[in-house]
Structure 1
Amino acid sequence: MRFNRARAAFVLAEAELLGDAAACAKYGLSDRTLRNYRARLQRDPELAALFRERLGALGKRWEEELAPAILEAVNFLKRAAREANPRDPEVIEAVAGALKTLAEIALTKEVIEARLGEDAPGLGLLN
């Protein structure tokens, strides 16, 4: 079977953003195949160029799809926190859970931006 650079670049880019296990499951690949792709990435300039291109495109798509949804959710949480009874233990627990989720999103944003590198545009989430 002939090596498909475009497919390998796509899988490697998704593994960077989603994690190895998710990418392998999505494409029906073994962890060993992904490791082979990564090894080839180091010595194949054409694959490396395709990978960078695909990673940039996925990062942009991620921003375009998630940023508006996250902003809408944040606005909802702000309204809910203002209107809720601050003495209700369930409300306190829910707001604490929402705060934890927002912190995780901020951390995920930083990790993805770091993986995309300095040449990639910022994701613009929660800025």
Structure 2
Amino acid sequence: MPKQDAAPGPRKAGRKFDYDRAAAVLVDAELLGAAHAVKTWGVSEATISRYRTRLESDPILQDCVRQKKDGRDAPAPIVHTPSVQEVTGDVLAFLQKAAREGNHKDPEVIHAVMGGYKVLREVQLAERSLDAYLAALAAQSTSLGTFQSDGAKQLSSASTGTPN
């Protein structure tokens, strides 16, 4: 059975055929291009060609490639995406440090720091605008929901003959 994780880099000569590595090289070559696989795995184009030829007739290699592809097609794990507040806090801290430590006489430093503050302010304004827009949408959908439920009550009471 092939090992689970093959490491990129050149393979040592005289070793047994590494199905896992060959499968990883083939999947990378297919998905990211042969040039990427050559660079990442330290193989030649000729090696990739030999792996492709072997893939046509080797069921073990076919199975390994299929498993590698299935692993790549799996949904990405859920990772923490920082909020706008977290990012702007980090950017603000960076800009403050740059303003303190930068050369105050260098116009490029001044321009870069001020440009950073400008972009940060634009992001904050965009966030506020989006928050206001989303709040208005939420309020509108809530009022529509109330209206619809009141209307449904009126229809229900009308059909049953009972007052609200």
Give the number of the structure whose alpha-carbon radius of gyration is greater: 2
Higher relative contact order (CA 8 A, sep 6+): 1
Q: TM-score, normalised by structure 1?
A: 0.48
